[in-house]
Structure 1
Amino acid sequence: MPHGNASTLLADLGGTNVRFALAGPDATSPLVMDSIRRYRVKEFPSLADAARQYFADTGRSASQAVIAAAGRIAGGETVKVTNNPWAIVAHALQAELGMRAVHLVNDFAAQSMAVPLLAADSLLPVGALSAPKLDGTQPQTFVVMGPGTGLGVAGLLWRDQKWIVLESEGGHAGFAAHTTEDVEILHRLNARFGRVSNERMICGNGLVNLYLALADIAGQPAEEYTPEDITARAEDGSDPLCVRTVETLAGIFGSVAGDLVLSLGGWDGVYLTGGVLPFLLPWLHRGGFRERFEAKGRFRETMERVPTLAIVHPEPGLLGAAAIALSAAGQSLQLPH
């Protein structure tokens, strides 16, 4: 665990990019914003090499680290990052970088711990409900989820005067079809992949999976599009099938978010995040996301009262890692809103 006021390196490690920064002592905003740098994973053989490049580029140093990684942390010590070639062992990384402590956490544990530090201007309601008040006077339970290279899922609980993160791999839970079109999509993805998880659709590459399935359903020839091709053609309206693909993803995203509320008891709200979210936001506002989020049969009235908030802070993963470093050093988080 990080110690005292020693300088702490922060890393937010996904399948495509790794972002580094340093933690500061400010309990309201512990992330040092001008220390942030981003590197492409494929350009470095290991996390240690990328960290050395960060120190060389910035002229900074650190004696300990909090690493938020997109994968399951085994025994608090090792992680094989999902959709990423790096395997990380905390004590080995500590030795390579000459640090006195390296702490591994799941990336959505970090995303979740950012929530108590988010100011009002870092949240954007999706739907008519505003952000819930985090005042610490009663137990609260939230879902934190979102698409990037994969689909991250966590629970955030306020209990006994402290924040608790329920780490999960909920993105790999099996996809539940809710509409006739969902069933047709599921048939096609099942033929390709066997078991079909939510992550097969709700992530960057999920756009391609959905596009190919929808093209087959429509009896249209499919182009060899990348996720970027699909989003660009959806944004400019030049390809109706690309538009339909993004609309479909937004709707399925809503269904899965609603299912997670039911599964985790996240009645106080859902925080949406992830690298694909900025592009998806306009499509989430168009109705399909909330309609399918609320369409939970006998629980519709309850779901209509659950807010969904998009996190628009530029670096919530690093902010949450900084919050974890602060908490580990024995300091209390200060709520800004």
Structure 2
Amino acid sequence: MTVISPSSFLVADIGGTNARFAIADADGQGRPTLAAIRELRASEYPTLAAAAGDYLASLGTERPRTGVFAVASPVTSDAIRFTNSPWSFSVRALQTELALEALVLINDFAAVAHAVANLRRDDVRAIGVDTTTLAGDGGDGHYVVLGPGTGLGVGALARRGGVSIVIETEGGHVGFAPGNAYELKLLEALWRDHPRISAERLLSGQGLLNLYRAVCAVDGEPASVDTPEQISRQAAAAPESACGRSVALFCELLGAFAGDAVLMHGAWGGVYLAGGITQKLLPWIERGGFRGRFESKGRFETLMKRVPVLAITHPQPGLLGAAARGLLARPDR
């Protein structure tokens, strides 16, 4: 049974596919800690309140009094509607239903940005150029956090005097920019089914399937698989197949997008890559064209070669970031 102390609070990381919950607190150094972590399939619950209620019931009679939820949605009002999920809710109504004294909502990649300053060396893996300095080491700097999952999340982070300043964005919905003639053909193929092609339309779970179908259409091959999981499995078995070429191109496009995000935000301190797909495709990202497309920015190529990219390997960066955000509200912080 999890012990709920007066300082403990509920944290959640709610995406389009999974709903993750935990009890958060601080250790002796004031760093966020997580306990009683549980991951639920969003499709198995009619509402977020039902999923959260199931989690709280598993804790027993003790309940946290406050909560911080990270959600895959813009957080601009009391009404929250998920971008890649049928769930929607009122923040005030959810707080009442869960019997919480306070409930803070933040964007899911804002949570990842809050987590960045709490990551240790063994929580990250360098893609290309390494760095001896992490965002949490005390210096000032600008960073971008991004990553593909059910959608494509993007957030920005400024560190000033040991304090994290997080900027929530919906950067995954900027328009896709082809980088060569072949990618222009892919864009034209995608236009047949979608009036606007965002980066997320290609750089997400469903995006991998969209990309694969476009590759098949342009290359004159039949599309024989129907899910991102099938594409990944076939790519591993046959790297030269349409699936393999699609996964390799996915990683190249992710690198190009990450490089553009650095330029847009002046994130010379580096990029932190998150998202479930990042973990699954990390070997492809490391050995493929990700880094080349990341650096290939014309007159800024020399500068981009010095910008580190760190893949987050911490198992729960969203929950960790929600916990870090919750600690900021404490009177002693």
TM-score by length of 1: 0.93
1:1-337 aligned at under 5 Å gives the runs 5-26=6-27, 27=29, 29-33=31-35, 35-59=36-60, 60-75=62-77, 77-130=78-131, 132-134=133-135, 138-237=139-238, 240-332=241-333
Query: Which has the larger displacement, 267-276 or 133-142?
Result: 133-142
Q: How far apart are residue 61 of structure 1 and its match?
A: 1.7
CA 1:308/1:136 → structure 2, altered by over 3 Å: closer, same or farther? closer
Point out the more displaced range, 41-50 or 315-324: 41-50
Secondary structure class of the residue paired with 1:117: coil
Question: Deviation of residue 131 (structure 1)?
Answer: 5.1
Change (3 A) 1:166 1:131: farther
Residues 13 and 67 in structure 1, CA contact (< 8 A), matched pair in contact too: yes
Deviations 1:248-282 (Å, cap 9, x if unpaired)? 00000000000000001001100000011111100
Q: Deviations over 1:155-187 (max 9, x none)?
A: 010125421011100000001111112111111
**Offset at residue 203 of structure 1 (A):** 0.6
Shift of 1:58: 3.2
CA contact (8 A) 2:79 2:91 kept: yes
User: Would you say the 8 A contact 1:141–1:268 is kept in 2?
Assistant: yes
SS at match of 2:100: coil
**Residue 335 of structure 1 aligns with which residue?**
none
| Partner-residue secondary structure (3-state), 2:193 | helix
Q: Which runs of 5+ in 2 are unaligned?
A: none
Secondary structure at 2:26 match in 1: coil
Q: CA deviation at 1:31?
A: 2.6
Distance 1:238 1:116, change over 3 A: closer
Give the C-alpha shift of residue 237 in structure 1.
Answer: 2.0
Distance 2:80 2:236 in 1: 36
Which is further off, 220-229 or 53-62?
53-62
Unaligned runs of 5+ in 1: 333-337
Opposite residue 154 of structure 1, the aligned amino acid is: G
1:262-313 deviations in whole A, cap 9, x for unaligned? 0010011000000111111001111300000000000000000000000000
Aligned-partner Cα distance in 1 for 2:186–2:331: 49
What's the CA shift string for 1:224-260, capped at 9, x where partnerless?
Answer: 4201100111122277111101000000000000000
Q: How far apart are the structure 2 equivalents of 1:284 and 1:5?
A: 43
Residues 1:119 and 1:135: Cα distance change in structure 2 (over 3 Å): closer
Q: Give me the whole-angstrom Cα distance separating, in 2, the residues matched to 1:85 and 1:170.
A: 21
How far is the alpha carbon of 1:86 from its aligned partner? 1.1
RMSD, aligned CA:
1.7
Contact 1:136/1:158 (8 A) holds in 2: no
Task: Return the alpha-carbon distance in structure 1 between the equivalents of residues 134 and 107 of structure 2.
Answer: 25
- 8 Å CA contact 1:125, 1:131 repeated in 2: no
- Secondary structure, in 3 states, of the residue corresponding to 1:276? helix
Q: Distance in 1 between matches of 2:331 and 2:249?
A: 45
| Mean Cα deviation higher: 194-203 or 228-237 | 228-237
| Separation in 1, partners of 2:68, 2:300 | 39
- The answer on whether the counterparts of 1:7 and 1:61 sit within 8 Å (CA) in structure 2 is no
Whole-angstrom CA distance in 2 between matches of 1:211 and 1:94: 42
Provide the secondary structure at the position in 1 that maps to 2:70. strand
Question: Quick one: higher RCO (CA 8 Å, sep 6+), 1 or 2?
Answer: 1
Does the 8 A contact of 2:7 with 2:25 survive in 1?
no
